[in-house]
Chain A
Amino acid sequence: MELAALNLVNATLNWVTSALDAPSARAVVFGVHIGGHLFVEVLLLVVILFLLSQKSYKPPKRPLTKKEIDELCDEWVPESLIPSITQEMLSEPPVLESAAGPHTVINGKEVVNFSSANYLGFVGHEKLLESCTSALEKYGVGSCGPRGFYGTIDVHLDCEARIAKFLGTHDSILYSYGLSTMFSAIPCFCKKGDIIVVDEGVHWGIQNGLYLSRSTIVYFKHNDMESLEKTLERITSENQRAKKLRRYIVVEAVYQNSGQIAPLDKIIRLKEKYRFRVLLDETNSFGVLGHTGRGLTEYCGVPIEKIDIVTAAMGHALATEGGFCTGSARVIDHQRLSSSGYVFSASLPPYLASAAITAIDALEENPDLTLKLKENIAILWKGLSDIQGLSIASNLESPIVFLVLEKSTGSVKSDLQLLEDISDRALKQESIFVVASKRSTLDRCPLPVGIRLFVSAAHSEPDLLKACESLKRIAAAMLRQTFRSSQQQHVTVLNSAGQHSAVESFVFPREMPVLASH
């Protein structure tokens, strides 16, 4: 038995050995001995390659089926188009029944008008009305086309030449609306990657233009030159390689939101030191500052070639509508083809262009209009400098006299409500038409709201004195409760340059007026 099993095993072993040592297995291929172990190695290699070639496990992508998309679409609920209407949204502005001159008629009563930016008193000027009438008879009202498609009328070209001659620049370009001037001019020259340093108190038109340009925007503190210098220093040190990078500073000459005047000579010095370009918005200073009314450049003694781009809306001193932009020839030519508010929009109605030409002629003939305006501003300042509860936040020479609450009631909304009550009462009881500045929900300006008085050269002295008296009365009546006997007050004091400097915690040990029963 054991012998048989042993024999079997031996026989099997012998057979296997002989099979593996068979002559075919001992063949020599290319000088390599092929042994039995080679089969195992080849098999292993094949298995390895197979596993490597398999993709790693990803869960399979299943796009949404039609039914699922239908369900999602049914489930989705949009927000309502507008938020619900609150009480303050229902207020209506006062309706004028006559021209917006220094005196106007509201609700049948004649009031003194401080809410129209009619700085030189051209509203109602006969020469202006004459030229408009003849233009209306000749050209009709509208121009029926954009500038590129037969909407260019010879009065437009004349107006552009006149403005350029008046300011001493090479050329100018007319826009058909004041608000669109800045937000069309800025995206022309600023694209993604450029750097713009801008004052935080600029108006919405400039903010929108900056947003549309997609450049990097850096704000500096309102009208604060040290903040501007620090910002410029920081930017230049961060961006050493500035070959293709365009850099701009955007300021307004007279800020609409506060009435401050930008110190242009300091800005020019900074600009030349750090190699930036300057965009200046002269909406409220054209026709007002400077002894011939040529604006901030004349006022500060800066030659206008140093400013790269000057824009202005004509709806203020020139008493028409529209806006213009002026600068070197390269700047203006570029805008004629790439400024969207110029190329894709109907041109300015011709009678408004002829009104602008007449207004500039009138301004050049009587430069003492600016002097009269300055006198009027000074009278108003004197009258309002000791008003209770309100303080003047604007510059001594600015045609917008901006009154802010000395002590805020806590929120912007209630401040605005209080100021609107004051202006309502002024209109109804004292026949003085002033307005509180309104803010849109889209506006990002952080400056406080206030009451704005637009001074005009056509206001007479009795008008101004009456306004001062009335406002003082109303402020005293409505703001009595803001005075506390022993509380510290923040008083804003003006330094010699006419600029703001806050002096904090200055205790006024004054006698409090008796709080009469309301």
Chain B
Amino acid sequence: MIAIPYLTALTTHFSYGLLFVFGHVRDFFRKLMFFTNDNLQGYAPICLGAEDFYIRRLYLRIQDCFGRPIASAPDVWFDVVERYSNDNNKTLKRTGNISRCLNLGSYNYLGFGGADEYCTPRAIESLKRFSPSTCSSRVDGGTTLLHNELEECVARFVRKPAAIVFGMGYVTNSAILPVLIGKGGLIVSDSLNHNSAINGARGSGAIIRVFQHNSPDHLEEVLREQIAEGQPRTHRPWKKILVIVEGIYSMEGDFCKLPDIIAICKKYKAYIYLDEAHSIGAVGKTGRGVCELLGVDTADVDIMMGTFSKSFGSCGGYIAGSKELIQYLKYTCPAHLYATSISPPAAQQIISSIKVILGENGSNRGVEKLSQIRENSNFFRSELIKMGFEVLGDSDSPIMPIMLYNPAKIPAFSRECLKKNVAVVMVAFPATPLLLARARMCISASHTKEDLIKALEVISQVGDLVGIKYLLGEADKQQQERMKLE
């Protein structure tokens, strides 16, 4: 759990309070101006005032930290396009200048982003053979040999009997959950689940209950209470219960407590849905995800979902499960029946990258990449903790968020790092709670030791400048204790 120090909490509250007050004062003046300038002619305004208060008054001030365009492949070193603004950050225009920066922000865990020596020639070949799109859904004329090969490959990799592939990871969640569960069902989801799972759960029509992040005890409590009470108001028994968890939580960097949660789900006869968007390919001895890492049998997880845009350098999502499940989904899932099938070069990229990971292409690049990412993550994390930063996440996880808390530190950290040619990602409200803003680093297998050391230097300098080494006293204390023992 994140324990925010008292002084920091005070200053963060004060900063936000100040920002809100300023925002409301400016809104007041804006209303006066608008009163004389109303050209809506009887229509209600398309964006209501209160909805985008946060965007207009807080987010626009630091807009240049987000959405930075790049002019090259999302590799370890990439070109960030510089932007300028004439109207106080309201609109940003591109200049022609680029700066070469170290990439600590892209989801490129195994280094397949950008042109790869094995995958890219094959992708170009399938582009020439099948062209960039089939212009048709899978059930019409959009199934090619590649698609069938891809589904077999994915099922083999994930160690499940069958798999189905879609063209976008977000749509996978949103279109599958309504098929599996409907009115009269219960969805119990972790409090920090991704927006796509929440969207799919809302679209299904089932009742949604939330359990505390990664707490199997609270999950058990919620399940017991809900089964005993039944559906709200009618108290009829639930039709089915689905528990949704993620492999790695992208804002915290910690793994799900899968063995405990599966034990509870088996005891209470609930189905479990595992969303491995970030963990597939990046963790586990052979890259097979969080099930391999935690020693869980894949037959215990009813539905496994994942995306290809993170570790495989492509796009799309998959669902893996029993043969009957996949057949049923192929019959009725709207994303399979109506949406264009996944682009053939992207499918080929996934097949090639899986072959590299499993070593089926004859080299041991896959094994190297997997051990490299583990080493890199552990090294980076331990160094950051030694420096006194407050870093979240478990060891072995390639995602490390550094806590910032204060809203003013968000743009400060981001801009200072960019000046020193390190590109980092800032995460603030609404992706995280309001007071818990953070900077998030994603380590890749292609980062070399020199890259990491350079990044650590820059982050340490900027951290001193901005003042985010909250745990510095504790790190020193720990070191002193260790020296005393020796």
A and B are interacting partners: yes
| Chain A residues proximal to chain B, CB less than 8 Å | 64, 68-69, 72-73, 76-79, 81-83, 85, 88-90, 93-101, 104, 113, 115-118, 123-124, 128-129, 132-133, 136-145, 147-154, 156-157, 176-180, 183, 189, 191, 203-205, 208, 211-212, 242-247, 256, 275, 277, 308, 313, 315-316, 319-321, 330-331, 334, 336-338, 340-341, 343-346, 348-349, 351-352, 355, 433, 435, 438-443, 452, 454
Instruction: Scan residues 314-344 of chain B and give those whose CB is less than 8 A from a CB of chain A.
Output: 314-315, 324-325, 327-328, 330-335, 337-340, 342-343
- A137 with B133: CB separation less than 8 A: no
Instruction: Please measure, in the bound complex, the distance between the C-alpha atom of A319 and the C-alpha atom of B142, giving whole angstroms.
Output: 12
Taking A89-B331, A315-B133 as contacts, is the C-beta distance between A183 and B174 under 8 angstroms?
Answer: yes
Residues of chain B with a CB closer than 8 A to A256's CB: 338
The answer to whether B135 and A79 have CB atoms under 8 Å apart is no
Q: How far is the CA of A357 from the CA of B313 in the complex (A)?
A: 22
Contacts of B134 in A (CB 8 A): 96, 99-100, 116, 123
Question: A117: shortest Cβ distance to chain B, in Å?
Answer: 5
Please determine whether B312 and A89 come into contact, CB atoms closer than 8 angstroms.
no
Cβ of B325 and Cβ of A81 under 8 Å apart?
yes
Known contacts A100-B136, A212-B199: A352-B343 contact under CB 8 Å: yes
Asked whether A320 lies within 8 Å of B132 as measured between CB atoms, the reply is: yes
Chain B residues lying within 8 Å of A189, measured Cβ to Cβ, are: 46-47
B141 at the interface (CB under 8 A from A): yes
Q: Are B324 and A78 in contact (CB under 8 A)?
A: no
Q: Is the CB of B314 within 8 A of A151?
A: no
CB pair B309 A321 closer than 8 Å: no
- Residue from A136, A140, A203 having most chain B Cβ neighbours under 10 A: A140
Q: What residues of B have a CB within 8 angstroms of the CB of A138 in the complex?
A: 72-73, 115
Closest A residue to B131 by beta carbon equals: A99
A73 touching B73 by the CB < 8 A rule? no
Query: Are the C-beta atoms of B346 and A141 separated by less than 8 Å?
Result: yes
Contact in complex: B107, A145 (CB < 8 Å): yes
Please tell me which one of the listed residues A78, A113, A191, A441 contacts residue B141 in the complex, with CB atoms under 8 A apart. A113
Verify B108–A144 contact, CB threshold 8 A.
yes
Complex contacts, B127 vs chain A, CB 8 Å: 129, 132-133, 136, 351
Decide if B140 is an interface residue (CB 8 Å cutoff).
yes
Residues of A within 8 A of B67 (CB): 147-148, 152, 336
Interfacial chain B residues near A178, Cβ < 8 Å: 339-340
Whole-angstrom distance between the alpha carbons of A11 and B179 in the complex? 99
B364 at the interface (CB under 8 A from A): no
Stretch at the interface among B11-19, B237-245, B385-393: B237-245
Bound Cα distance from A96 to B147, whole angstroms: 10
Chain B residue nearest to A83 in the complex (CB): B328
- Which of A123, A321, A441 sits near B340, CB closer than 8 Å? A321
Is the Cβ of B340 less than 8 Å from the Cβ of A152? no
Question: From A354, which residue of chain B is reached at the shortest CB distance?
Answer: B132
Count contacts between A and B, CB distance < 8 Å: 359
Query: A334 contacts which chain B residues (CB < 8 A)?
Result: 46-47, 52
Question: What count of chain B residues pass the 8 Å CB interface test?
Answer: 119
Distance to closest chain A CB from B1 (angstroms) = 25
Q: Are A100 and B174 in contact (CB under 8 A)?
A: no
Q: Interface-forming stretch among B207-215, B266-274, B285-293, B452-460?
A: B266-274
CB-defined A-B contacts under 8 Å, sample of 22: A78-B241, A94-B143, A96-B142, A96-B145, A133-B127, A140-B113, A140-B313, A141-B349, A149-B106, A208-B175, A211-B203, A243-B44, A244-B48, A313-B340, A315-B133, A319-B132, A321-B167, A337-B55, A338-B51, A338-B52, A344-B195, A438-B337
* B81 within 8 A of partner (CB): yes
Q: Which residues of chain B have C-beta atoms less than 8 A from A440's C-beta?
A: 179, 332-334, 337-338
CB distance from B90 to the nearest CB of A (A): 9
Question: Would B133 and A204 count as touching, CB distance under 8 A?
Answer: no
In the complex, the chain B residue whose C-beta lies closest to that of A329 is B91
A77:B308 contact, CB within 8 angstroms: no
Would A346 and B307 be within 8 Å (CB), given that A72-B227, A152-B70, A320-B132 are in contact? yes
Q: Contact between B180 and A132 (Cβ–Cβ < 8 Å)? A: no
Output the least CB separation between A180 and chain B (Å): 5
User: B332 contacts which chain A residues (CB < 8 A)?
Assistant: 440-442
Interface flag for B259 (CB, 8 Å): no
B186: shortest Cβ distance to chain A, in Å? 10
Decide if the interface of chain A is mainly helix, strand, loop or mixed. Answer: loop
| Contact (A150, B144) CB under 8 Å given A72-B228, A157-B94, A344-B170 | no
B225 — which chain A residues lie within 8 A by C-beta? 69
Question: C-beta contact mask, B75-89 vs A, less than 8 Å → 1, else 0?
Answer: 100101100000000
Report chain A residues within 8 Å CB of B349: 141-142
Bound: A429/B334 CA distance, A = 30
In whole angstroms, how far apart are the Cα atoms of A183 and B114 in the complex? 30
Tell me whether A136 and B43 are in contact in the complex, defined as CB-CB below 8 angstroms, given that A100-B141, A179-B338, A212-B202 are known contacts: no
Known: A179-B171, A341-B170, A344-B170. 17 other contacts (CB 8 A): A78-B271, A95-B143, A100-B142, A115-B141, A123-B131, A124-B131, A128-B132, A132-B132, A145-B105, A152-B67, A203-B338, A205-B338, A245-B44, A247-B44, A256-B338, A341-B171, A343-B195
CB of B130 closer than 8 Å to a CB of A? yes
The minimal Cβ–Cβ distance linking B331 to chain A, given in whole angstroms, is 4
Instruction: Tell me if A144 and B333 are in contact (CB < 8 A).
Output: no
Closest to A68 in B: B228
Q: Is B123 an interface residue (CB 8 A)?
A: yes
Docked-complex contact A148 and B196, CB < 8 angstroms: no
Complex alpha-carbon distance, A132 and B133, angstroms: 11
Cβ B241 vs Cβ A433 within 8 A: no
On whether the beta carbons of B237 and A76 are closer than 8 Å, the reply is yes
Check: B304 CB closer than 8 A to any chain A CB. Answer: no
* Residue interface mask B31-75, A partner, CB < 8 A = 1: 000000000011110111001100100010000001111111111
In the complex, B445 has a CB within 8 A of chain A: no
Least CB separation from A176: chain B residue: B168
Task: Compute how far the CA of A336 lies from the CA of B63 in the bound complex, rounded to whole angstroms.
Answer: 12
Is B43's CB under 8 angstroms from A142's CB? Answer: no
The complex places the Cα of A330 from the Cα of B41 at a distance, in Å, of 17
Q: Is there contact, CB below 8 Å, between A319 and B133?
A: yes
A356 to chain B, nearest CB (A): 10
Q: Is B253 an interface residue (CB 8 A)?
A: no
Closest to A82 in B: B328
Q: Annotate B172-194 by CB proximity to A: 1 below 8 A, 0 otherwise.
A: 00110011100000000000001
Instruction: Check if B148 is an interface residue, CB within 8 A of chain A.
Output: yes
**Contact B328–A133 (Cβ < 8 Å):** no
Which of A118, A132, A144, A343 has a CB less than 8 Å from the CB of B313? A144
Beyond A73-B224, A204-B338, A212-B203, whether A315 also contacts B108 by CB under 8 A is: no
Question: Contact string, B97-113, partner A, CB cutoff 8 A, digits 1/0?
Answer: 00000010111100011
CB contacts (< 8 Å) of B74 on chain A: these are 139-140, 142-145, 150-151, 153
B132 A141 Cβ-Cβ under 8 A: no
Is B133 a contact of A321 with CB atoms below 8 Å? yes
Contact A316 B143 (CB under 8 A): no
- Chain A residue nearest in CB terms to B313: A142
Tell whether, in the assembled complex, residue A149 and residue B271 are in contact, meaning their CB atoms are under 8 Å apart: no
B327 CB, min distance to chain A CBs, angstroms: 6
Known: A99-B129, A308-B46, A344-B195. A208 touches B52 (CB 8 A): no
A154-B132 contact given A76-B269, A244-B48, A344-B170, CB 8 Å threshold = no
Closest to A80 in B: B240
**Contact in complex: A129, B128 (CB < 8 Å):** yes
Q: Which 10 A-B pairs have the closest CB atoms?
A: A115-B141, A315-B340, A177-B168, A346-B309, A179-B339, A345-B170, A89-B331, A144-B74, A140-B114, A144-B106
Q: A89-B328, A128-B131, A442-B334 are in contact. Are A95 and B106 (CB under 8 A)?
A: no
Neighbouring B residues of A349 by C-beta, 8 Å: 314-315, 343, 346
> Across the two chains, which residue of chain A brings its CB closest to B55?
A337
Most-contacted residue by chain A among B168, B180, B425 (CB, 10 A): B168
Residues of chain B within 8 A of A441, CB atoms compared: 179, 332
Interface residues in B384-424 by Cβ distance below 8 A to A read: 423
Bound CA span A336–B60, Å: 12
* Complex interface: chain B residues within 8 A of A124 (CB): 131
Q: How far is the CA of A318 from the CA of B486 in the complex (A)?
A: 69
